[in-house]
Amino acid sequence: MDTQERIIEIIDTDYNAFDIDVNNDTTFEELGLDSLDAVELLMDIESAFDIDISDDEFDKLLCVNDVIECVEKHS
């Protein structure tokens, strides 16, 4: 499973409250994530990929593609 598939699976399984079709362009807003949900998602992704994402980086993540690029940068 590649990075994109793994991230989308995490989001779809635990954070897709609206059951939308998650893709690279899906935003956290479209998923209905509040700030606490977004922090929990970040912790799940950090754990799944064994990486650390700084708060400054996290603040710049707006959509799934941003998360994918960030994870790939740290891997």
For 70, the domain range is 3-74
Cβ atoms of 71 and 49 within 8 Å: the answer is: yes
Closest CA to 75 of 49, 55, 53: 49
Catalytic residues: 34
Phi, psi of 27 (to 5 degrees): -95, 160
CATH number for the domain including 43? 1.10.1200.10
The domain tally of the chain equals 1
Q: Is the distance from CB of 31 to CB of 11 less than 8 angstroms?
A: yes
Residue 6's pLDDT band (cuts 50, 70, 90): very high
Mean pLDDT score across all residues of the chain: 94
* Burial state string for 22-41 with b = 16 or more CB within 10 A and e = fewer than 16: beeebebeebebeeeebeeb
pLDDT digits (tens, 9 = 90+) for 42-51: 999 999 999 9
